[in-house]
C-alpha cells in the first residue's frame, strides 16, 4: 500500500475524436480509449492524460476508507490557482478521508491557469478534458457513475456551472463557490441540482452582477436555475447565521440552494486560509454543506 503522500507521475494516452486548440470547439468523444492510471490503493496520486494534443494534469486522492463503488468529487481551482492551493483552501481531502469518497483536483492550462467558462468564445477544450478524465477514472477505479460531482472556486465555479449546463449526463450535482458565470447559453437536457455560495461584498464576482460583461446578478442566476430545475414558488429564505441566509425553492425536480454571505468577499466559507480580499465567513463551512448536498443526490 503506497504512502499517503506518495507522489506518482503517470502519462496516460487518451485517443480523442478530434484535436482541440486553446480556443477552438471540438466534438466530444463518446468513448475515449484510456489506459488505467495504475492506482493500486489509497494515496495521493499526481497524474496526466493527453487531451486534445496537450498534457493535462490532475491530483487524485483515494482515502483509506474508500467506498465501493466510490463517489467522486471533482474540485476546480480558481483563476491563476492550482490543485494544491484549492485542496488547501477547501479542506475537501479531510472530508473525503472521513466519508470515503475519491476527490480529484484537475489543473487548468495557461501561464495564468484558467478554465474555459464561456462556451461561445473559448470552445470545448476543458469540457472534453473533464469527459476524458472521468472515463480514465472509471477505467482505473471502482467508482459510482451515478455519484460524480463537481465543485469549484471563482473561475473554477464558472467551470462547475458550465458542466451543470453541458454535462448533466456526467455529474449528479454541482457546487460553485463565488462562481464567475459567463456562459452564453445554458440549456441542460437533464437539470442538475445546484448549491451555490456568494458574498454580497465580493469585488471580483459582484453579487449584483456586471451585465455589460455578461455576468448575471447572483439571485437572478439562482432563480434561472430554479426554473431549469422545475421548482415551485415562492422561494423560501432561511436565516442560517447573523451573516448568512439560505434560499431554497419548493418542489424542485433538481434542487437549488443559494447561500448568501452578507459582507462576504471573494472566498470559500469556512476556510481557514484567508487571503487578503479572499475572506468570507466562519459561520458556515461550504465544504461540509457541499458534501451533505452531494450525498443526497444521484444521477
Structural domain boundaries in the chain: 64-295
Q: Give pTM, 2 decimals.
A: 0.87
Residue 212 CB contacts under 8 Å (≥ 6 apart), including other chains: none
Q: What is the mean pLDDT of residues 29-40?
A: 55
Which residue carries 491563476 as its cell?
80
Q: Give the C-alpha separation, 102 to 240, whole Å.
A: 29
Looking at residue 36, what is its pLDDT?
Answer: 62
The closest alpha carbon to 87, from 268, 231, 245, 246, belongs to: 268
> Are the C-beta atoms of residues 198 and 258 closer than 8 Å to each other?
yes
Which residue carries 460583461 as its cell?
213
Give the architecture-level CATH label for domain 64-295.
Answer: 3-Layer(aba) Sandwich (3.40)
Q: Give the C-alpha separation, 58 to 140, whole Å.
A: 14
Give per-residue pLDDT as tens, 131-149.
999 999 999 999 999 999 9
Give per-residue pLDDT as tens, 262-285.
999 999 999 876 443 457 899 999
Residue 242 CB contacts under 8 Å (≥ 6 apart), including other chains: 283
What are the grid coordinates assigned to 170, written together? 456526467
Amino acid at each position: 500500500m503506497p504512502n499517503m503522500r506518495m507522489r506518482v507521475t503517470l502519462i496516460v494516452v487518451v485517443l480523442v475524436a478530434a484535436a482541440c486548440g486553446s480556443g477552438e470547439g471540438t466534438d466530444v468523444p463518446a468513448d475515449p480509449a484510456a489506459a488505467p492510471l495504475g492506482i493500486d490503493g489509497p494515496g495521493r496520486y499526481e497524474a496526466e492524460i493527453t487531451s486534445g494534443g496537450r498534457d493535462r494534469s490532475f491530483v487524485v486522492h483515494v482515502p483509506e476508507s474508500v467506498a465501493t463503488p466510490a463517489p467522486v468529487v471533482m474540485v476546480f481551482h480558481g483563476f491563476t490557482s492550482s490543485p494544491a492551493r484549492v485542496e488547501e483552501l477547501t479542506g475537501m481531502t479531510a472530508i473525503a478521508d472521513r466519508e470515503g469518497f475519491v476527490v480529484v483536483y484537475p489543473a487548468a492550462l495557461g501561464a495564468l491557469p484558467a478554465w474555459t467558462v464561456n462556451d461561445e468564445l473559448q470552445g470545448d477544450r476543458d469540457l472534453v478534458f473533464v469527459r476524458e478524465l472521468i472515463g480514465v477514472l472509471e477505467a482505473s477505479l471502482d467508482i459510482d457513475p451515478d455519484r460524480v460531482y463537481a465543485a469549484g472556486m471563482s473561475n473554477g465555479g464558472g467551470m462547475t456551472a458550465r458542466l451543470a449546463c453541458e454535462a448533466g449526463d456526467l455529474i449528479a450535482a454541482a457546487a460553485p463557490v463565488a462562481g464567475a458565470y459567463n456562459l452564453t447559453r445554458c440549456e441542460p437536457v437533464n437539470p442538475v441540482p445546484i448549491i451555490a455560495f456568494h458574498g454580497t461584498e465580493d469585488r471580483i464576482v459582484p453579487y449584483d452582477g456586471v451585465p455589460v460583461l455578461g455576468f448575471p446578478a447572483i439571485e437572478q442566476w439562482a432563480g434561472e436555475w430554479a426554473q431549469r430545475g422545475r421548482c415551485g414558488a415562492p422561494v423560501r429564505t432561511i436565516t442560517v447565521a447573523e451573516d448568512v441566509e439560505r434560499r431554497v425553492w419548493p418542489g424542485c425536480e433538481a434542487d437549488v440552494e443559494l447561500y448568501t454571505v452578507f459582507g462576504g468577499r471573494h472566498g470559500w466559507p469556512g476556510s481557514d486560509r484567508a487571503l487578503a480580499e479572499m475572506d468570507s465567513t466562519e459561520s458556515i463551512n461550504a465544504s461540509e454543506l457541499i458534501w451533505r448536498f452531494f450525498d443526497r443526490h444521484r444521477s
